[in-house]
Amino acid sequence: MLKKYIWSKHRYIFLFLLYLGIFCLVAYLYGMPADACIYALVLCVFFAAVFMLYSYLRYRQRMRELEDIRMRIEFGPEKLPPPVNGIEEEYQRMIHLLYQKTTDAVSRRDRAITEMIDYYTLWAHQIKTPIAAMGLLLQSEKNCASRDELQMELFKIEQYVEMVLQYLRLGSDSTDFVIQKQDLDKIIRGAVKKYSTTFIKKKLTLDYTPAACQVVSDEKWLSFVIEQILSNALKYTYEGKISIYMDPQLEQTLVIEDTGIDIQAEDLTRVFDKGYTGYNGRRDKKSTGIGLYLCRQIMNKLGHTLTIESEVGRGTRVKLDLSYKTVSFT
């Protein structure tokens, strides 16, 4: 802080030394007594030192006040120290004006976001009615081939609508987490049952080893994550099998492994980025880059971790570490 103070006063220090030099030069040229000159110089330096000390103490106190205000800046600049001159007063007026404009802009943005979230939440709930009606109508369809195809497409629509709802809920301040002990086997079986038609349609084998363990998590959100990963495995697996089992080496780690298209090495570090589709997503032209992003965010909030491994020609392995850690709601 002393260095900052000296630098802020370096012009005045330079002028003071310049004036002392001029005084000494004039005294020398006019042959003034040395004792009188030294006495005058000592007085000048003494009073200058006292003034500098007083000024430094004021400067240090003011800097500490400003640092304290900076630590509480999110509460606004209302408690700025009184200005010492007209320039500081004008600066403080500018700060208050900028703060007011920023506050107004943030309020407008928050209102717009809230209105958008409310609209899409209402839309996602309302769209479920025609989806259910379409499902009932398809049950009376006589052409089995077309009925099965339409039911598959309708199922995809339902999944996309559910993804929208989860995306909106995840960003809400009132996310309804219920953290308690869950039967992991029950959750997995529910997800598999939901995609049983897809397994049959694509003629894929399911190799499931029952998960006989309890995990501390939220049933609804964990189900969504497992369903999304299972959906991805089904989407990019055209033959072979999908295996679901507990990792024998890692405690409470669920593994969902497929024999489908492997993920490119350069994509592995970015598959959880929002909107990133990677090589396979660009080739498929139907990937949104939202599913895995949501899964990672949900797992973080539940206190779990999610990792992906992929080998060329051997498919993809997704590991869900369901051991309970610190839950994050940010």
pLDDT digits (tens, 9 = 90+) for 115-163: 877 777 777 777 877 777 777 777 776 666 667 777 777 888 888 888 8
Report yes or no on 268 lying in a domain.
yes
Strand-strand pairing, 205-208 and 241-246? parallel
**Residues forming beta bridges with residue 308, ordered by sequence position:** 318
Q: Are the beta carbons of 224 and 162 closer than 8 angstroms? A: yes
Question: Which residue stretches of the chain are H helix?
Answer: 2-8, 10-29, 34-71, 86-139, 144-170, 184-194, 196-202, 219-235, 265-268, 278-284, 291-302
- Give the count of domains, the chain: 3
- Type of residue found at 189: R
Same domain, yes or no: 204 and 317: yes
Instruction: Looking at the structure, tell me whether residues 192 and 159 fall in a common domain.
Output: no
Shared-domain flag, residues 161 and 61:
no
CATH number at residue 248: 3.30.565.10
Q: pTM for the complete prediction?
A: 0.62
Q: Which domain holds residue 63?
A: 2-81
pLDDT per residue as tens digits for the range 259-289: 888 887 777 878 888 776 766 655 555 566 7
191 shares its domain with 292: yes
Q: Are residues 317 and 184 in the same domain?
A: yes
φ/ψ of residue 226, rounded to 5: -65, -40
Q: Which of 39-43, 66-70, 111-115 is predicted with the least confidence, judged by mean pLDDT?
A: 66-70
